[in-house]
A = this chain, B = another copy of it.
């Protein structure tokens, strides 16, 4: 038995990075040539470094920097003090997330999004100092492998003015089946999700049927990001009866989702109408969703996401996991969280196969049979590759992007484009 030890934050680095991203289509437009992320490194007076990863829109970055400069002296176990610091630093500036999510999500407060990378980094530090994986700090490793889902996107062959990427165009059912086949071959995924809301529902229904025919033993999902009206959502759900594991965000808002839920049998999932703790009570009262997608970047970190998991279990909702374009630090955090959350029984989303660059030392997070083995090492289980971080930061400086602007980018190619939200 040892006496009490206190490690304190000595300094914090926030490094924006950019990594190449294919032209993936969604309800609000198309992914730009680079996805932005911010890497948070929390250093302690005992010489450890904890890692976090988050969005890197300009407004968000400025808030991260402000919090970073207020953290020296913080006890790495004092997550309450971290929260109080974030609240104090944000002051009256908490309105809006400061990360645009391409315009798909309406986040009313920046508190949780700003908290998240610092909380993850402190848990990484706790685990490193303790010599235990972060999952042990979240209640223990409930499993050794975390299953992920293939995440299919409609896409252009390449970014405008560039050659085709090696995924090529994907707009037809056949092309999506080919995309799925490559992901399944390469990663072993046993669940497949299609990002919908890009084409008319009949076209996307046809694609889902083609996927069901090609992958009769895979779990299938479609997520049109609220592109459909309530009647269309009900009609599509019935057309896809027996095809879907769940139907994600067919229509916007808790009221609309509840109306759909009353009329269909397939479970409705969401990462749009329930994205903060304040949305849970209205969603439960309306019986609007049957599956909630957690996302530690959005919900304030790993402990808050574990709380969301406990709430889902308590109120009889299923639990899955959402993904934005991300790098290896986020994947490690997602894996640690999922390992400690036994009621997260759905395969998690990940954009991982779409990226061609990373900034963690390879080797600890590999996909096998669609799952990632939970790292045995301390903390998150990943190590930052300083050279790669430098390269991706240089790329950020050069790329000119300073926020996520899917709609504006789409308009540069398709003038007059407006988001498909609620369109059909």
A167 in contact (CB, < 8 A): no
Most chain B CB within a 10 A radius of its CB, from A75, A77, A141, A311: A77
Which among B2, B80, B315 is the interface contact of A281 at CB below 8 angstroms? B315
B139 and A303 form a contact (CB under 8 A):
yes
Smallest beta-carbon distance A420→chain B, Å: 32
Chain A contact-residue range equals: 35 or more
B129 and A378 form a contact (CB under 8 A):
no
Contacts of A131 in B (CB 8 A): 1-5
A342 in contact (CB, < 8 A): yes
Contacts of A136 in B (CB 8 A): 77-78
A378 and B281 form a contact (CB under 8 A):
no
A133 in contact (CB, < 8 A): yes
Contacts of A3 in B (CB 8 A): 131, 378
Smallest beta-carbon distance A144→chain B, Å: 11
A216 in contact (CB, < 8 A): no
A222-251: CB near B (< 8 Å → 1, else 0) gives 000000000000000000000000000000
Known: A280-B315, A284-B284. A342 touches B310 (CB 8 A): no
Contacts of A82 in B (CB 8 A): 140
Alpha-carbon distance between A81 and B136 when the two chains are bound, in angstroms:
12
B314 and A277 form a contact (CB under 8 A):
yes
Known: A80-B142, A303-B139. A132 touches B378 (CB 8 A): no
A79 in contact (CB, < 8 A): yes
A116-152: CB near B (< 8 Å → 1, else 0) gives 0000000000001111110011011110000000000
B78 and A316 form a contact (CB under 8 A):
no
Contacts of A310 in B (CB 8 A): 307, 310-311
Alpha-carbon distance between A131 and B285 when the two chains are bound, in angstroms:
43
Alpha-carbon distance between A376 and B131 when the two chains are bound, in angstroms:
22
B132 and A5 form a contact (CB under 8 A):
yes
CB interface residues, A 298-332, toward B, < 8 Å: 303, 307, 310-311, 313-316
Known: A311-B310, A315-B280. A140 touches B4 (CB 8 A): no
Which among B4, B280, B376 is the interface contact of A132 at CB below 8 angstroms? B4
Contacts of A314 in B (CB 8 A): 277, 280-281, 307, 311
B79 and A140 form a contact (CB under 8 A):
yes
A48 in contact (CB, < 8 A): yes
Contacts of A79 in B (CB 8 A): 139-140
A377 in contact (CB, < 8 A): yes
Alpha-carbon distance between A47 and B1 when the two chains are bound, in angstroms:
8
Which among B4, B77, B133 is the interface contact of A4 at CB below 8 angstroms? B133
Contacts of A47 in B (CB 8 A): 1
Smallest beta-carbon distance A130→chain B, Å: 6
A1 and B281 form a contact (CB under 8 A):
no
A1 and B77 form a contact (CB under 8 A):
no
Q: Add 9 more A-B contacts to A1-B47, A281-B315, A284-B284 (CB < 8 A).
A: A1-B378, A2-B378, A4-B376, A4-B377, A78-B141, A139-B303, A281-B316, A310-B310, A311-B311
A/B interface sample: 20 pairs, CB < 8 A = A2-B128, A2-B130, A2-B131, A2-B378, A3-B131, A4-B376, A5-B131, A75-B140, A77-B132, A77-B136, A77-B140, A79-B140, A80-B140, A80-B342, A81-B140, A82-B140, A137-B137, A280-B314, A280-B315, A307-B307
